[in-house]
A and B are shown apart, each in its own frame.
Chain A
Amino acid sequence: MTTPISSLTIQFKPKAIRKIAIWAGALLAFVGLLVILPPLKSVLIILVIALFAAMLLNPVVDFFENRGINRLLAVVLVFTVIVFLIAVGIEFLAPVVSHEVEQMSAALQGQSSDQMIGKFQKSLAKAIPLLANPMFQNELKGQLDALLQKSLSLLLGMLSAVVDMVMLGFITFFFLKDGRRMKKAVVSWVPNRYFEMALIILHKTAQRLGSYLRGQLLVAAIVGALSITALYLLGIRYYFFIGVMAGMANMIPYFGPLVGAIPAMIIALWDSGAIGPVAAVAVAFASIQLFENIFISPFIVSKSVELHPLTVIIVILIGGQLLGIFGMLMAVPIASIIKVTAKELYWGFKNYRIFT
């Protein structure tokens, strides 16, 4: 028996064709994004930081608006305070920091890593004979040279960042002033079926991330202040610069605390050539970490965006690979955005019965 040809032809319904077209369009847009995004890396970085800055400052602007001040005026007021604080910072703190950085680089250039190892070796070789091994010396020298080069390139990067800072200021200003209108415009493009769900997801994600970022910044400020105090009391040179770095680096889980502790320990070793002060610095940093983990973070940083330690390590490594130190710093917040959004999307799809 033969099958009539007409029954073999596949008939596409207009709805199915539309669906296929939408998916194909989405795929094409995704591929297009992959092509466009890499050259726009620096612009995207500024946009992401501006978004984070706007999230951090939004409650302050809202506070002023709550007191009856017009939003534009409130944003201008917040910006004026920030510019004033930066100016004060430059006036009073920059000489201290730049003096410390200058001294540090001069010391690094003046004293070769060989000399330093010599000092280090004398004190340590007596205690641990294994460390007198030339292989260990070479390894340590290589690491120190790399550290010196990295610190110099970081300084150059900081100078070129001034231009980006101005751009960042402009974008943050408009995010703060017109953020609500922008959000409304974005939501207006969402189809009716997903509109209410998109609104809830956007709200919950922004709320959780905002509190997470504010919490992180507060913890960083506390850790920075504690580190500066501890290093000052221990009489470590460049205590201010290292303390600030330790506070900022604290936002990178696991790796961050080492960024503050290692330079401080090297300087302690450099100055004294003995193990005692190095141990004191290590104990101080370990105590600060313990204090932060037990008493500060649990009360400030939201649990809802907590990531598995393995995820944290992987995303930090990916961030470092893609964007260096900045990538490491942004890895956890960005991974948190993805986690919160995915969680809310799952909740939305389940409760709004999108697929049923």
Chain B
Amino acid sequence: MLSKNESTNNSPLKFHIGDALWRNVFKKDARQKESIFSILRKVPLFKGMNKSELNEFDKIIHRRKYKEQETIFYEGEPGVGMYIVQEGAVGIYKNTVEDEKEELAQLSAGEFFGELALLDETPRSATAVALEDTRILGLFLPDLLDLIDRKPRLGNKFLFQLAMLIGERLKHTNQELQTLWAKFEESKVIT
């Protein structure tokens, strides 16, 4: 016969409950976090951040699910944050003068959009639509300002990366402008 102690310790029921709880609550949470960290690491704005720093962002990041063809935001609406595609695909569209939709880009996991809304509250310049069932991570200005207030070092790190990204884009735009200008001058000479 088993002693009272042995019978409780080896109870299959207790083992199963404990195991299920561990698997479903703690491990699931840890797995979810790890998957978010791996997505964030793909985004240049979180470049060089360690686990604890990414964890601080995880605390303020909102997880949203969108169905196929569901609009994430509309052009002209006030924007307060950026979105990162965790799973699925997102289409970015702009309304043309003829009231038609022009596709600007298709984004997949690890790509992001709407980051300029982190710098000012000007209306969204395009519409974003989920092209399939999509999971998205949202980082918003009020939460970012709060983070900068509480953790200025981490906030600065993020803002520096954001400034670098905008700078890169400015360089790219300048190059494109120069190319276009050169083409324009060329066409003037030909005609």
Contacts and interface: CB of A to CB of B under 8 A. Distances in A.
21 contacts: A65-B151, A66-B149, A66-B151, A71-B150, A180-B59, A184-B59, A188-B62, A192-B66, A192-B70, A193-B71, A196-B73, A196-B80, A196-B81, A196-B138, A199-B62, A199-B81, A199-B140, A200-B78, A351-B77, A351-B78, A353-B74
Contacts of A71: 150
A187 B62 contact: yes
Nearest to B76: A353
Nearest to A188: B62
B18 interface: no
Interface string B72-91: 11101111110000000000
Given A199-B140, A352-B77, A353-B77, A192 B151 contact: no
Nearest to B74: A353
A180 B145 CA distance: 13
Contacts, number: 50
Contacts of A199: 62, 80-81, 140, 142
A66 B77 contact: no
B62 A184 contact: yes
A31 B168 CA distance: 56
A195 B64 contact: yes
Interface of A is mostly: helix
Interface of B: 59-60, 62-64, 66, 70-74, 76-81, 138, 140, 142, 146, 149-152
Contacts of A65: 150-151
A257 B59 CA distance: 45
Given A192-B70, A203-B142, A66 B150 contact: yes
Grouping DSSP codes into helix (H, G, I), strand (E, B) and loop, the B interface class, with mixed when no group exceeds half, is mixed
Q: Give 10 closest A-B pairs by Cβ, nearest first.
A: A203-B142, A65-B150, A351-B78, A62-B150, A352-B77, A200-B80, A199-B140, A66-B150, A62-B149, A192-B66
A71 B150 CA distance: 9
Interface in A331-355: 351-353
Contacts of B63: 188
Interface string A250-269: 00000000000000000000
Nearest to A200: B80
A187 B138 CA distance: 12
Contacts of B150: 62, 65-66, 71
Nearest to B61: A184
A352 B59 contact: no
B64 A200 contact: no
A181 interface: yes
Contacts of B74: 353
Contacts of B138: 196
Given A180-B59, A180-B146, 9 more contacts: A66-B149, A66-B152, A192-B66, A196-B79, A196-B140, A199-B140, A199-B142, A200-B78, A352-B78
A188 B76 CA distance: 24
